[in-house]
A and B are shown apart, each in its own frame.
Chain A
């Protein structure tokens, strides 16, 4: 068990990591917007996803620091959007054949519709968004799905790696970030229902790990977009 001073230190450190992540995300998004015209469809969806991430981060921070209330109410709409956009990105990247594409589409629409309906249901009762009542399982489900996409893409890249495909070369880096962040995040959110009820001096390490992994993910994104060649070389 940590004493009060260490807990405060780690909470502050966690906040610093979260703010640094936001700035890195801003930088990645700015680069993405600047290069937007030259990017392929998957990368363009990815820039939209980064925009969504930044918006949710900023709104979340507005709730926490300005309105002084928890931002759990934002999580479900965010999850629906995140799942939908990430699915689109990977559908482009995986280049699925007709039948697999259909199965993929059905899966995406079923999860999106289910999650959307569940979100609407939750919004009818406010106590669902208090920390003690909040259910984190859908977040774990989405993280798990994205993780599966990332693994599928990794297998796809190993099968169809091409030196001339600049999307493969650069998206592999982002995919590595996705694998790293969402695998750690999956464990954190799988146990979140339990973690929110234990002392902060214990759960802080999980939040710290998640913040650190998020920062790494955004750094991977920034580096990948930075390296994306907008000019064709011969």
Chain B
């Protein structure tokens, strides 16, 4: 009887210790899980804040870049081009420069003036400023056919439709970058650009029959990251499909209902 009591008491203690250990483990689990959750949520907040800050920096960088482009374009057009014009006129009307020896300097100045105008227009396309995205795009694409012997097909539904100026400008830069990539690397014969502007969005499709590229190897490249940051800035989406020897197709979509502060 005494032995049985001892056994019972031992078993009882064992069972109590089992319960205590399990309860202790449960408490540790609850406290630790709550702490981990709190740490994770704090870290998540910090991470999101850092992400927002980064996005803000990127956006202000893009806006400053655009502002600077406009300033350089204006300087080129108003200062350099005017001075070159004055030099040209002086040369033209100078009695010392009436002979055939003056033709070469005047031609050189004309060339310099052309380059200055071209640079100024590329930096800040006047058509984009005054007539909108579709007109500027037509103006940008048209000369390519003559100069680079690439067959350019441009289809657009709305030449005069204007939308948010910042979006127009950023989208134009994106298309410029994409088309330049095609011309530089794709060795394409045909470049097709489709544009559709509705009340709520702008849709574009740029395709070529060039050599294509491997998206995995080009992922870290400046071109694609520039496009990505600009598209992110205007809250646009884009996707591309590229197969070696089959060309590249890029589809862009930019919503027009969201607004951003102008610089």
Contact = CB atoms under 8 A, between A and B. Distances in A.
Given A162-B43, A163-B44, A163-B47, A202 B11 contact: yes
B43 A163 contact: yes
B39 A161 contact: yes
A172 B40 CA distance: 12
Contact of B40 (A162, A184, A195): A162
Given A163-B40, A164-B47, A205-B15, A180 B7 contact: no
A157 interface: yes
A149 B10 CA distance: 29
Given A172-B33, A180-B29, A158 B22 contact: no
Interface residues of B, number: 25
Nearest to A150: B25
B11 to A, nearest CB: 5
Contacts of A176: 29, 33
B32 A209 contact: no
B32 A158 contact: yes
B14 A161 contact: no
A70 interface: no
Contact of B22 (A163, A202, A213): A213
Interface in A132-163: 154, 157-158, 161-163
A180 B41 CA distance: 25
The size bracket of the interface on A is 20 to 34
A198 B44 contact: no
Contacts of B40: 161-163, 169
Among A154, A164, A186, A188, chain B packs the most CB atoms within 10 A around the CB of A154
Given A163-B43, A163-B44, A206 B18 contact: yes
Interface string B209-241: 000000000000000000000000000000000
B55 to A, nearest CB: 13
A205 B16 CA distance: 11
12 contacts: A154-B32, A162-B40, A162-B43, A176-B29, A180-B25, A184-B21, A184-B22, A187-B14, A187-B21, A194-B10, A202-B7, A209-B18
Interface of A: 154, 157-158, 161-164, 168-169, 172, 176, 179-180, 183-184, 186-188, 191, 194-195, 198, 202, 205-206, 209, 213
Interface of B: 7-8, 10-11, 14-15, 17-18, 21-22, 24-26, 28-29, 32-33, 35-36, 39-41, 43-44, 47
Given A184-B22, A186-B21, A209-B22, 8 more contacts: A161-B39, A161-B43, A163-B44, A168-B36, A180-B22, A183-B22, A184-B21, A187-B17
